[in-house]
Amino acid sequence: MSSKGIGVGECAEHGEFFLDAHDSPCPSCEDKEKMSKTISFGEFDAQANGYLSALVHELLIEKDIEPASFSFSVEVTYDEVKDETDIS
C-alpha cells in the first residue's frame, strides 16, 4: 500500500488517525467546507481616503505617471471555512 502513497496518517489539528493518502484530510477536516468569498470597499472616510490617495499618487509618480485623475477600491478574496457539523 505504501507504494501508492496510502497509509496511516495523524491529523495535526484533531489528533485523529486515519487510513488514506498522505495529503487527504482527516474525517473531521472533511466536515469543513471552504468557500471563497470576495468583499469590496469603495467608500472610505476622509482620513483613509487622503492616505490612500497619497499612496496611489506616490506609486504612480514612482512609475513616471502623472495622473490627471484616478479612482480606487479595495477587493479582498478570502476562504471562509464552514463547519458542516455546526447545525446553527
Q: Which residue has the higher pLDDT, 17 or 88?
A: 17
Q: What is the mean pLDDT of residues 16-39?
A: 70
Q: Which residues contact 14 (CB under 8 A, 6 or more apart)?
A: 26, 28, 29
Helices (H) and strands (E) in the chain, counts: 2, 4
Q: Is the pLDDT of residue 5 over 90?
A: no
Q: Is the pLDDT of residue 29 over 60?
A: yes
What is the residue whose three cell numbers read 505504501? 2
Give the confidence band of 59 by pLDDT, cuts at 50, 70, 90: very high
Question: CB neighbours (10 Å) of residue 88?
Answer: 3
Q: What mean pLDDT value characterizes the chain?
A: 77
